[in-house]
Structure 1
Amino acid sequence: MKMHRVRYLKGPNYFSYKPTMWIELDLEELEFSPSNELPGFTEALLGTIPSLKDHTCSLGYPGGFVERLEKGTWMGHILEHMALELQYLAGIKVRRGKTLTSNKKGIYYVTYDCRESKSGLYAFEAAKDIVEKILTGAKSVDAGPYIEKIEDLYYTNKLGPSTEAIYNAAFAKQIPVERVGKDSLLRLGTGSKQKFVQATITSQTSFMAVENSCDKQMTKTLLAGAGIPVPEGETASSAEEVFEAADRVGFPLVIKPLNGNQGRGVYTNIKSREELFNIIHCMDTPENNFIVERYYEGHDYRLLVVDGELIAASMRLAPFVIGNGQDSIKALIEKENKNPLRGDGHEKPMSKIPINAIVSCHLEKSGLTLDSIPEPGKIVQVVGNANLSTGGQAIDVTDEVHPTIRDVAVTAAKAIGLDVAGVDFICPDISAQLDRKKATIVEVNAAPGIRMHHYPAKGKPRDVGKAIVDYLFKTREDASIPIISVTGTNGKTTTTRMIKHFLERDGYTVGMTNSDGVYVGNETIDEGDCSGPISARKILSNPNVHAAVLETARGGILREGLAFRQCDVGIVTNVSEDHLGLEGIEDFGQLVKLKRLIPEVVMENGHCILNADDPEVVQMAEHTRGKVIFTSLFYTNHHIREAAEKGWTVWFLDEDNWISCIEDGNPKRLLPARDIPVTIEGKARHNISNLLQALAAAHSQGVPFEVLKEKALTFSPNSEQSKGRFNTYEVEGRKIIVDYAHNIAGLNAFFDTVRHFKTGSAITVISSPGDRQDHEIREMAKIAIRNSDRLIIREDEDLRGRGPYETANMMHAAALKEKGYSGKQISIIPQELKAYQEAWNLSAEGDTLLFLYEKHSVVNEFFSLVSGRKNVVARKII
């Protein structure tokens, strides 16, 4: 078996709205060996992973997968189930998988859920390795090491509990959220509305407040100045100064680094100079500046404040072990660290208890060492502080906090200037009124960990992540700029360009992606085919953008999924056979389902704009939560009439060829179609269809009718506003029409418009993308020769998997065989520029040259050569 291609579909995709692993698998010789023809295979597999017996598979009941194995199923399907189960056994809750059979013999497309890409991919590699061992004679395989590695990869690469809690809260609130980079930085929101969170520091957090909280002495100074109880203490920068400070403060006391965090280097309840001497000489910290302060008897509490409100409170317990009379303290710690809830650092709800000098120092205070063996039942505290990062536990006490203590915690956070703060509080009883002689605030922390509140050892979990998200964004509308996604087979680029033009106004920047580039307002920030998710993210993450208009092509969806989880407006222009046989989309029904993804992700209060003249697109109305707006070139279209009767909004071309709309039962007329430049005197029917959808999209976003009229009259099919889409030039008596039509439907629409404007002989320069099916390539050649007097076939620079001249020769042969056109001049000139030059040389005044380009820059180069100057401006634009 071989894995040819692997993809991690991060966003909503053809298979699922969740992150999905996609693998192209070649079974090779196993294509001829289903599971029931492999002696002993099923028994060995179930012996290796017994829990596969519970899989329901497509049969829908436990044991269904085993039935499939016994009756015979193929290895792609088996690996899918194994990859899911191995992840599940590693503690990753995944369920969905699907394996598709390709038209190519032995090729399968295996898809399954995963939460994180590296662990998700390794799960498949592990499944493949296990199967190969079984096939070479192993009666069973130890799956344990594979599961451990999956777990390790998952927790190493996933978000930590605190950041994940914020991510999940944003996700639940439908706030756009994504991880930026490999660490804990999150972007919440899009465009001009975006904000950031790193750990629990937000983009609203004051830098000065963070600096003040990191300086423990400054924290005490600010708190004391606000009348908040803090422990008496002094700073010291040497061992001698520590002892001098201890004498003045008095025992018992606490010593900690001046700029420490997460409880590192904190020693509490030091009762004598002897204990202090031992601690100083075994301290494992590079910090030379310390705080020596009074020790307060009582419980250690963490009070979590967000935006001036107490959200959660936990009582923290220092890490401990319970003796059994046999194991050393070190061995007992090692046993506790195997608790699945404990992990390295912050990866799991609790951290592992350290085995280091800090523990040794603390044990020395009680006359113990790591090698001591406690008697049965004896509780041994092994670290002096209760921080979770040093192995502590937390018990939720939020509902017990006395109002006076709540108020002092909120005041402390405000005094430091923190929007999100962890207030460390010592007192005998959190439910009793504040006693300033017995209670104190010892620290106010920026970037407080919140996993203790989400995963308490005892008590009610508190959703601090939600509180932080609610503080940053009251509603989804506060977080997300409008996202308008345009998909379909043809017309996507023209539609996106018009929508951008219609939405733009002073002080309102529209970002756009399409097959020509990425645009922010009037600035081009990238060029080329930019209709995929990488380009979309450039717009969604740009802080200057107030609205995003995104051309969403099939290729990007299949490579990575969508760049957004929901859109405000989803548009489907049409669906026709195109790019079939690629990336697992091998029939028309699959293509329709792929395009239907956009209507599916339209948000509940959004708008789904569908071409009512395309029967496949009409049916997508059943798969959206948005408000459906139908558009049509025909006022007699029964979908338009029925929708209008229901009170839906519809846009259409009326009996007088006016662009019209019915909204809330009220008919409105915009303009005569022929007066709108993009319709090319009303002859470009495909452009009228695109115009209707663009108008519907802009109007759904609040653009008034009068503004739409003005905008429609100022959008022209020229190289400035609609580059490469039926751009018409007059050069030395010749008419040159430049277009990007590159599939059957697009080519038919192009020539349908050309016939209204063609003069003299028509000389067409054309190619076909190599990733089209053979019959599509031949049909494009037939369409071209039917509508041309001379045909020049060129080659794309990107052959898309074809050999040199393969596509050109196929088109040449098809054109020659087309009945009634074999006598026409047909030639192959592979280079794009030379093909245009030959068309020019063959032409005479009055002729029409039709350039169907691959690279618009080559068209510009041709005009430069012909006119003798660069950046030629058309002498006449129709």
Structure 2
Amino acid sequence: MSIDRPAPAGPLAPDLRIIEERVYRGGNIWSYRPAVHLVVDLGVLEGYPTNTIPGFTDGLLELLPRVGGHTCSRGHEGGFGERLREGTWVGHVAEHVALQLQQEAGHDERRGKTRMVKDRPGVYNVVYGYTDEGVGLSAGRLAVRLINHLIEPEDEFDFAEELELFLRRAERTAFGPSTAAILEEAASRDIPFIRLNSASLVQLGQGKYAQRIRATMTSHTGALAVDIASDKDMTIKLLGSAGLPVPKQETCRTEDGAVEAARRVGYPVVVKPLDGNHGRGVGLNLDNPDDVRAAFAVAKEQSRNGWVIVESFITGKDYRCLIVGGRMRAIAERVPAHVIGDGTNTIEQLVAITNADPRRGVGHEKVLTRIAVDDAAIERVKDQGYAMDDVPPEGTMVKLALTGNMSTGGISIDRTFDAHPDNVEIAEEAARVIGLDVAGIDFICPDITAPVRETGGAICEVNAAPGFRMHTHPTVGEPQFIAKPVVDLLFPPGAPSRVPIVAVTGTNGKTTTSRMIAHIFKETGKKVGMTSTDGIVIDERLVIKSDASGPRSARMVLQNPRVEVAVMEVARGGILREGLGYDRNDIAVVTNIAPDHLGMKGIDTLEQLADVKAVIVEAVPRDGFAILNADDPHVRRMRNRCSGNIVWYSLKPEDSKERAFINARLRRGGRAVVLDRTERGDMIVIKHGSRSMQLAWTHLLPATFGGTAMFNVANAMAAAGAAFAAGIGLHEIRQGLRTFTTSYYLSPGRMNLINVRGMEVIVDYCHNAPGMEVLGQFVDRYADRKAATSEWGKISRIGMIATAGDRRDEDLRELGRVAARYFDVLVVREDQRLRGRQPGEAAELIREGIREADAAGGVRVRAAETVLDEVDAVRHCVARANPGDIVVLCVDNHAKVVAELETITHSAQAGSSGDEPGDPDFDARTHPAG
């Protein structure tokens, strides 16, 4: 960004503000990975680069010193600091501050870019990566506030306080150490994951291969085993019956019962809740009835069902053995929360010094937990002969907790390779007896290096969902990489974790192409999950009816455990709004790029629209494929963005420049689907290098209407290319295309042919001028073929047309001009959603285009009428037609239109009574969309 602009006459002011926020959850137009996108307005700050703002750079580096070390565009450490002093704009500063704030929260994000919005001086796109989207958004907002504060101090803004609030939020939403360790291991193996809630419930893998974890519980963890481990009394009984060393114990619900149990077990004893966790409510080394009564009250308060355990006190050290898949993976010695006297500081001061360790946080957010100074801790210090304001002698250990749990401030020492083999065998057997795939076995024994059966140790607990941080981040010793065996349990080496993803985009034809691809996969026996503008379909069942061509719908498909193949229709709006919603697609299909949706969300040209659609091509991995339309120059140029292989397809004849382009690629071993024209008809041919494989005659494919619907010929070729790239055999591809029809049940709203009172009514979604062009060409060919054999005489063509109101005025006029060339009668309607226009406004613009075409001459139209309501317009078109005529209905709500056509048909058959029962899927009185 250049800085040689004159400063404005206005005064410097803290004008930076966010005018739009977006979160991309997958590949997007800015990045291959998830990103936050802020559109910021600099206001008068557009004229003030950082080197012209007094004290700005020094103030920023004082508050966030590490931000100056960012490499930025300079490519070396400290590059951004140089840019600050040379002069850069505050939008760029916001990007780097947002990244640094996330780094302060432990999120290693370094990706970002800032670009000016075209034709909007002072407005910038600020894009940066995130690990947690909530934290990423908060970082951007705090960055803007900080920049404005540095320009003009805000009385109520305390950056240290705001930073602390930000970090606390990051801690609340971050994965705990155990979950994070598993996800890091999964990521290293290219196993995708989806967070299913705001806590630790995560899906690893996709579709039929999906597994779930919640912290360290997995899809393989039995609910019965978890219940048994939660019942400490049952756990000890089962382990004891298996001959494993366990303490004596009894359960009770009253103080007197606890005292009697202690007498029978024998002092000293331990009192703890039957179903507690994290060491809460545990009383140790109790050697008299009064202590037992006091400990009983504490334990009962922590017990969910009111039962308390009294067991014999085993002396020794506290060890946690981690068992995964029946094998010992790590052992940690747990030392209770304590401080070591230095002869100078009080116990209270020593606790504060210990808690200042950056590794310590609240709860499980960090590798160590801060020591809490509560009544129990003060009592424990008192039992050792100290008060909190005493200064213990140098080297003296003062304990502040009874148990060695990490959650109460304890530390861990790695003992994985010190354990005696007998102890390892006992721990592994305990996990098998309880039935846990991931288990934490708690040993109390004098020394883990000696057999517990000889030294008098015992298993005191078996824990489901054991924490990993004492093993992955021991305070002393080497960390153990225990996430690997957990992921091995869920995904053994070589096991798949991803389902094939086929993404389809383009201006026209993407829905039909998606349905064809899904149908071919279905014919091979696969269960297909598909998203489209009509909804989400899982294994041929419509589960959600809505426009489902966005990233959220894609994630829903990938979460479904029945899905073996995912076919995603990807729309421009979803990419701009949230990105793809997944990290990559194995196959990307781009049908065409035509003028539609221009003038919306900053997309004003076909080149820009192509850049948006190319996101799915950029998401193709090296072993994947892009299926590209060689007849479209915008699609053809996408080859430069593909990391994988390309399958071209073309409708052009052999002597065309497009086929020459393809032939050059075939000579280098490329792949293509082409159309060979012969006297017998048009043959779809798949080519791979020098090999040619005939696939099907176009006139034998039902969706092509005898080969006259060339746009569906192109869609079939794209689908064939995708299926060929996926490794499906020629016979299966041929069979899939031969059995795919444009019936309403298989392809609702896409070229559905319905006979109504002797008229051929075609229901289609065509809604833009390029689509109308190819639809009109089909009507020409179809009508000519029909006229050659018709007994009805002259065939009229009636068309019902409309488009969305948020298109440009010129787009609406162009639709009218194109339609006028192909239809005798045009009925102009409007969608139910006017999208910002007044009733009748969009229809009048289309009528203007029709009138312009008529005035220019050489068009077919002889009558044009406006009927705004869709159902009324359908009735009007049918009333205008005679038997043998062709009626083309370009619809918005296909269900209501087809229901109305069924009603008209039934009424005609029953003498126009209109009271006969109809097909419930079509009948307007019963159809959900009616």
Same fold (TM over 0.5): yes
- CA shift, 1:69, in A, is 5.0
**One of 120, 144, 148 as aligned partner of 2:160:** 144
Q: What does residue 540 of structure 1 align with?
A: 558
SS at match of 2:703: helix
Q: Give the superposition deviation at 1:200.
A: 1.4
Matched with 2:790 is none
Q: Quick check: 116-125 or 250-259, which moved more?
A: 250-259
Instruction: Assess, with a 3 A threshold, how the Cα gap between structure 1 residues 395 and 34 changes in structure 2: closer, same or farther.
Output: same
Matched, 1:831 2:869: yes
Structure 1 residue 258 and structure 2 residue 312: aligned? no
CA distance in 2, matches of 1:773, 1:638: 37
Tell which deviates more after alignment, 657-666 or 865-874.
865-874
User: Equivalent residue for 1:820?
Assistant: 856
CA contact (8 A) 1:659 1:669 kept: yes
Give the SS at the match of 2:693: strand
In the alignment, what sits opposite 1:856?
894
Partner residue, 1:310: 328
Equivalent residue for 2:674?
Answer: 652
2:139 aligned with 1:101: no
Q: Is the 8 A contact 1:175 1:476 kept in 2?
A: no
- How many angstroms does 1:625 deviate by? 4.5
Aligned-pair CA distance for 1:753: 1.6
1:141–1:70 CA distance, 2 compared to 1 (3 A): farther
Are the counterparts in 1 of residues 412 and 474 from structure 2 also a CA contact under 8 Å?
yes
Q: Once the 2 structures are TM-superposed, how far is the Cα of residue 560 of structure 1 from its aligned partner? A: 2.2
Of 691, 711, 723, the match for 1:698: 723
Q: Which moved more, 1:61-70 or 1:682-691?
A: 61-70
Cα distance per residue 1:427-447 (max 9 Å; x no partner): 344344554433322211111
Partner of 2:106: 91
Kept in 1: contact 2:50–2:84 (CA 8 A): yes
Q: What is the CA–CA distance in structure 1 between the aligned matches of 2:45 and 2:811, rounded to whole Å?
A: 33
> Could you say what secondary structure the match of 1:265 adopts?
coil
Question: 5+ residue gaps in structure 1?
Answer: none
Query: Which residue of structure 2 aligns with residue 220 of structure 1?
Result: 236
Matched, 1:411 2:433: no
Residue 338 of structure 1: aligned partner? 356
Aligned pairs, number? 874
Structure 1 partner of 2:11: none
Structure 1 320/855 Cα, relative in aligned 2: closer, same or farther at 3 Å? Answer: same
7, 10, 15: which one aligns with 2:30: 15
| 401 and 619 in structure 1: CA distance in 2 versus 1, 3 angstrom threshold | farther
Decide whether aligned partners of structure 1 residues 37 and 768 sit closer, same or farther in structure 2, where only a CA change above 3 A counts.
Answer: farther
Aligned residues of 1:90 and 1:148 also touching (Cα < 8 A): no
The SS at the match of 1:408 is: helix
Q: Deviations over 1:699-724 (max 9, x none)?
A: 44454333333322221122222222
The whole-number CA distance in structure 2 between the counterparts of 1:590 and 1:461 is 50
**Matches of 1:837 and 1:31, distance apart in 2:** 58
Give the match for residue 787 of structure 1.
822
- Of 331-340 and 259-268, deviating more is 331-340
Structure 1 residues 233, 528: closer, same or farther in 2, change over 3 A?
closer
For 1:758, the equivalent position in structure 2 comes to 783
Aligned-pair distance for 1:420? 0.8
Distance in 2 between residues matched to 1:385 and 1:779, nearest whole Å: 78
Select which of 382, 396, 408 maps to 1:378: 396
* Corresponding residue SS for 2:109: coil
Which amino acid is the alignment partner of residue 856 of structure 2?
Answer: G
Q: Describe the SS at the equivalent of 2:190.
A: coil
Q: Return closer, same or farther for 1:78/1:286 CA change in 2, 3 Å cut-off.
A: closer
Change (3 A) 1:791 1:202: same
Evaluate the alpha carbon distance shift between residue 326 and residue 416 of structure 1 in structure 2; reply closer, same or farther with a 3 A threshold. Answer: same
Match of 1:633 in 2: 651
Q: Which amino acid aligns with 2:748?
A: K
Which ranges of structure 2 fall in alignment gaps of 5 or more residues?
Answer: 1-15, 785-794, 908-913, 923-930
Are the equivalent residues in 2 in contact too, given 1:793–1:812 (CA < 8 A)?
Answer: yes
- Correspondences of 1:663-742 after superposition (within 5 Å): 663=688, 666-742=691-767
Shift of 1:73: 4.5
Moved more, 649-658 or 54-63: 54-63
Q: Is the 8 A contact 1:156 1:347 kept in 2?
A: yes
Post-superposition offset of 1:229: 1.7
Tell me what 2:196 maps to.
Answer: 180
Q: Distance in 2 between matches of 1:635 and 1:405?
A: 77
* Structure 1 counterpart of 2:231, one-letter code: D
1:128 and 2:166 matched:
no
Instruction: Tell whether the 8 Å contact from 2:28 to 2:615 is kept in structure 1 after alignment.
Output: yes
Report the CA distance between 1:648 and its aligned residue: 4.2
> Which residue in the other structure is 1:240 paired with?
256
Deviations 1:274-314 (A, max 9, x none): 76566557668343533333334433221111111222222
Give how far 1:864 is off. 4.2
**Residues 635 and 474 (structure 1 numbering): CA distance in 2 closer, same or farther, change over 3 Å?**
farther
For residues 639 and 355 of structure 1, what CA distance do their matches in structure 2 show?
76
- CA deviations 1:453-487 (Å, max 9, x no partner) are 22222333223223212201125754333322222
Shift of 1:695: 2.2
1:156 corresponds to 2:156:
no
Alpha-carbon distance change, 264 to 860 in structure 1, aligned in 2, over 3 angstroms: same
Amino acid at match of 1:319: A
Give the letter for the 1:654 counterpart: D
Is residue 860–residue 872 contact of structure 1 (8 Å, CA) maintained in 2?
A: no
Which aligned pairs between 1:421-820 and structure 2 lie closer than 5 A?
421-432=439-450, 435-474=453-492, 478-505=496-523, 508-634=526-652, 636=654, 637-656=659-678, 657-663=682-688, 666-758=691-783, 760-818=795-853, 820=856
Change (3 A) 1:43 1:382: closer
- 1:481-539 per-residue CA deviation (whole Å, 9 max, x = no partner) reads 33222222221111111122112259643222111122123322122311112222332
1:786-831, CA deviations, whole angstroms, 9 ceiling, x for partnerless residues?
A: 3333433332222334454443343333443346149954444332
Kindly indicate whether the alpha-carbon contact (under 8 Å) linking 2:33 and 2:583 is maintained by their aligned counterparts in 1. Answer: no
Looking at structure 2, the residues matched to 110 and 170 of structure 1 have their Cα atoms a distance apart, in angstroms, of 30
- Partner of 1:654: helix, strand, or coil? strand
Shift of 1:833: 2.6
* Structure 1 counterpart of 2:10: none
1:451 CA displacement: 1.8
- 8 Å CA contact 1:91–1:151 kept in 2: the answer is no
Q: How does 1:38-117 map to 2 (within 5 A)?
A: 41-42=56-57, 44-62=59-77, 64-65=79-80, 68-69=83-84, 73-103=88-118, 105=120, 106-117=122-133
Which string of whole-angstrom CA distances, capped at 9 and with x for unpartnered residues, describes residues 709-752 of structure 1?
Answer: 33222211222222222223343354433221223432222222
Looking at structure 2, the residues matched to 659 and 410 of structure 1 have their Cα atoms a distance apart, in angstroms, of 62
**1:872–1:413 distance in 2 versus 1, CA, 3 Å:** closer
Residue range with higher mean Cα deviation, 800-809 or 351-360: 800-809
| Cα distance change on mapping 1:69 and 1:372 into 2, 3 Å | closer
How many Å separate the matches in 1 of 2:584 and 2:154? 48
How many Å apart are 1:93 and its aligned residue?
2.0
Change in 2 beyond 3 A, CA 1:18/1:465: farther
CA–CA distance in structure 2, aligned partners of residues 286 and 840 of structure 1? 75
Give the deviation of 1:383 after TM superposition: 0.8
What SS class does the counterpart of residue 842 from structure 2 fall into?
helix
* 1:47 CA displacement: 4.9
Q: Is 1:363–2:381 an aligned residue pair?
A: yes
How has the CA–CA distance of structure 1 residues 804 and 28 changed in structure 2, closer, same or farther, with 3 Å as cutoff?
farther
Deviation of 1:167 after TM superposition, in Å, equals: 2.5
Q: What percent identity do the matched residue pairs reach?
A: 37
- Output the aligned Cα RMSD: 3.2
TM (norm. structure 2) is: 0.86
Give the secondary-structure state (helix, strand or coil) at the position aligned to 2:594: coil
Offset, 1:604:
4.5
Task: Quote the residue 1:199 is aligned against.
Answer: 215
Kindly provide the CA deviation profile for residues 593-615 of structure 1, in whole angstroms up to 9, marking residues without a partner as x: 33232233334544433333334
